[in-house]
């Protein structure tokens, strides 16, 4: 007895078959995809209103009760407690942009939200997610080609071009009115670290020291090193030292303690005197060894085990004429060692003169009612830069630091890739127009995807116009017209409410879009 089975006919939902047929999946996967897109677009919409020079600032209260006022996308999203996995991916995207390029953290999130919106429409038309993803990747590669064609080479010796790029980055910040102060500082800081063969700059070699006092105009690039800490003068020690020999120690100048909590009961006052005397002798011997190495400025690392330095040690150091700065953070040790060309010392027995750094002057000055410790005239100074940031309160100071960091990153991007592209929505319209033309040469679903990608890019000029209170439809239409007439660098001038041939440029770095 034999059984015969007939092969089932495979038919698509629309009655046809083949690669170009509409894709119909079960309902559940589609719901999951749409849920992911909705969550990600919600994050995009949250920061969209802060894009551009006329973008609004966000006031955020952290779980600790601190208030942050900023329009920096990475800072805003870092403070948002996103729970949805897709929303977290956009937060991570902004953080990755902050690390890679430093600026454009709002732009990438807005752009990602727009691309997801375009993908959602195509999914609803029945296109397969893989086809959409592959087409978008091809379109992004094509967009990079168009941007490189649009870019203008820049010479790092051309300080005016670097200043314009840094100023443009600062123009959308709260501290934009101080861009004439902060932009030259950012350019000078990065160019000091650049060598003729440099292809990158490590921003960890640029340290921003914040001090509450004065105004942002008092921010300056210091020729030397600035410390976060103040000189310890509780025992009346020196606050100024010429021909300084600087030592960085990672051990404590205080009486030793046992590893375990022990209680020692002393009934005889003579034994108490002996304990105190031995403790003083122990500290005196350490201080004498430090002085014997000709050290006259001592930077002491902060300790979590016990006091880094006690009053007895400070008294001895004062008598020996040694300037003391305590509570240097562990994270600062590497920067200070590199800047002062000295080696951190972990044990008193290893303390020797060859591990000291040399400087012409270490001085604590009083500027705008704020004490600042400066180290100037460092011998054979390492390739590091210190910036002293001033501000009237913590809110202004934090935003000033974020803005300065963005400007530093913009100049660093020019070191990595020495080219500029126009701003004001010009590159997005240019790429969108060329991708639309290229899509006409394609066939099938890929053509639809390329066209959707091109349309999604227009979210940047549209948002810039919306945030400035302009008519986005009229502005973007006029912008397309100008580009069609050959004005490739035409962009939106938000301040004059018109379309201009863009004169300000953004670094054409590893990110495609630089706008916030």
**Domain CATH for 272:** 3.50.7.10
HEC-encoded secondary structure of 235-254:
CCCCCEEEEEEEEEECCCEC
The closest of 183, 162, 187, 158 to 173, measured between CA atoms, is 183
Which range of residues forms the domain containing residue 387?
222-391
What pLDDT score does 502 carry?
A: 47
Residues 267, 134 share a domain: no
In a domain, 353, yes or no: yes
Residues 100, 57 share a domain: yes
Crossing angle of helices 269-292 and 311-319, rounded to 10°: 50
- Give the domain-ending residue among 372, 391, 410: 391
CA dist 133 and 123 (Å) reads: 11
Residues 236, 384 share a domain: yes
Residues 361, 259 share a domain: yes
Terminal C-alpha separation, the chain: 77
What pLDDT score does 3 carry?
A: 42
In a domain, 510, yes or no: yes
In a domain, 213, yes or no: no
CA dist 364 and 355 (Å) reads: 23
Residues 354, 234 share a domain: yes
CB 387 within 8 A of CB 480: no
Catalytic residue list: 72, 105-106, 406
pTM over 0.85? The answer is no
Give the position of tokens 């500029």. Answer: 420
CA dist 287 and 478 (Å) reads: 75
For the chain, the domain total comes to: 2
In a domain, 201, yes or no: no
CB 408 within 8 A of CB 103: no
- Give the domain-ending residue among 391, 413, 441: 391
Residues 332, 279 share a domain: yes
Residues 430, 385 share a domain: no
- Record the tokens describing residue 480, joined without a space: 């397309």
Containing 498, the helix (H) or strand (E) segment is: strand 498-501
Residues 343, 262 share a domain: yes
Residues 349, 246 share a domain: yes
CB 362 within 8 A of CB 297: yes
In a domain, 412, yes or no: no
Give the position of tokens 């030793």. Answer: 256
CA dist 442 and 422 (Å) reads: 29
CA dist 110 and 51 (Å) reads: 9
- Domain CATH for 492: 1.10.560.10
Residues 116, 262 share a domain: no
Q: Burial level of 189, CB count in 10 A (0-12/13-18/19+)?
A: buried
In a domain, 254, yes or no: yes
In a domain, 414, yes or no: no
Residues 383, 461 share a domain: no
Residues 365, 319 share a domain: yes
In a domain, 502, yes or no: yes
Strand, coil or helix: 220: strand
In the chain, the largest separation of any two C-alpha atoms, in whole Å, equals 113
Tens-digit pLDDT profile for the chain (516 aa)? 444 434 344 344 444 444 545 555 556 777 888 888 888 888 998 899 988 888 888 888 888 888 888 888 888 888 888 888 888 999 999 888 888 887 888 899 999 999 999 999 998 888 888 999 999 999 999 999 999 888 888 888 888 888 888 888 888 788 888 888 999 999 999 988 888 777 888 888 999 999 988 889 989 999 889 998 888 887 788 888 999 999 999 888 887 776 666 777 778 788 888 888 888 888 889 899 999 999 999 999 988 777 778 888 888 888 888 899 988 898 899 999 999 989 999 888 888 888 999 999 999 988 878 889 999 988 888 889 999 999 888 888 988 998 899 899 888 888 888 888 888 888 999 999 999 999 999 888 899 999 999 999 999 999 998 988 888 898 889 888 888 888 888 888 776 545 555 444 444 433 333 334
- Record the tokens describing residue 319, joined without a space: 């008598």
């Amino acid at each position: 007895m034999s059984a015969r089975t007939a092969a089932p006919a495979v038919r698509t939902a629309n009655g046809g078959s083949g690669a170009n047929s509409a894709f119909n999946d079960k309902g559940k996967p589609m719901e999951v995809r749409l849920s992911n897109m909705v969550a990600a677009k919600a994050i995009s919409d949250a920061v969209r209103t802060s894009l551009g020079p006329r973008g609004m600032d966000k006031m955020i209260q952290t779980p600790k009760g601190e208030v942050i006022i900023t329009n920096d996308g990475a800072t805003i999203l870092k403070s948002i407690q996103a729970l949805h996995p897709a929303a977290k991916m956009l937060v991570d995207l902004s953080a990755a942009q902050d690390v890679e390029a430093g600026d454009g953290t709002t732009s990438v999130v807005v752009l990602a939200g727009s691309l997801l919106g375009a993908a959602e429409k195509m999914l609803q038309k029945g296109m397969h997610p893989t086809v959409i993803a592959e087409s978008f990747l091809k379109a992004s590669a094509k967009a990079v080609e168009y941007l490189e064609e649009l870019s203008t080479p820049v010479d790092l010796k051309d300080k005016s071009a670097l200043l314009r790029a840094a100023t443009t980055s600062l123009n959308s910040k709260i501290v934009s009115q101080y861009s004439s102060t902060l932009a030259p500082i950012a350019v000078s800081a990065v160019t000091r670290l650049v060598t003729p063969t440099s292809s990158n700059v490590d921003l960890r070699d640029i340290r921003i020291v914040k001090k509450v006092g004065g105004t942002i105009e008092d921010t300056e690039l210091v020729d030397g090193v600035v410390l976060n800490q103040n000189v310890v003068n509780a025992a009346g020690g020196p606050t100024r030292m010429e021909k300084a020999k600087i030592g960085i120690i990672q051990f404590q100048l205080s009486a030793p303690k046992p590893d375990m909590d022990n209680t020692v009961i002393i009934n005889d006052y003579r034994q108490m005197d002996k304990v105190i005397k031995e403790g003083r002798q122990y500290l005196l011997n350490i201080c004498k060894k430090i002085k014997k190495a000709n050290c006259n400025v001592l930077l002491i690392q902060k300790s979590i085990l016990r006091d880094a330095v006690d009053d007895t040690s400070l008294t001895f150091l004062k008598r020996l004429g040694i300037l003391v700065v305590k509570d240097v953070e562990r994270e600062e040790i590497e920067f200070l060692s590199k800047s002062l060309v000295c080696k951190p010392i972990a044990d008193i027995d290893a303390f020797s003169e060859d591990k000291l750094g040399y400087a012409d002057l270490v001085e604590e000055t009083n500027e705008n009612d704020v004490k600042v410790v400066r180290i100037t005239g460092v011998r054979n100074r390492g390739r590091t830069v210190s910036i002293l940031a001033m501000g009237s309160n913590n809110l202004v100071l934090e935003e000033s630091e974020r803005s300065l960091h963005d400007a530093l990153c913009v100049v660093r991007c020019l070191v990595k890739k020495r080219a500029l592209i126009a701003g004001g929505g010009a590159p997005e319209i240019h790429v969108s127009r060329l991708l639309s033309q290229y899509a006409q040469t394609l066939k099938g679903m890929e053509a639809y995807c390329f066209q959707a990608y091109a349309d999604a890019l227009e979210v940047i000029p549209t948002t810039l116009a919306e945030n400035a209170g302009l008519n986005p439809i009229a502005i973007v239409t006029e912008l397309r017209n100008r580009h069609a007439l050959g004005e490739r660098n035409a962009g939106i001038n938000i301040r004059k409410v018109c379309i201009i041939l863009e004169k300000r440029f953004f670094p054409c770095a590893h990110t495609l879009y630089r706008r916030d």
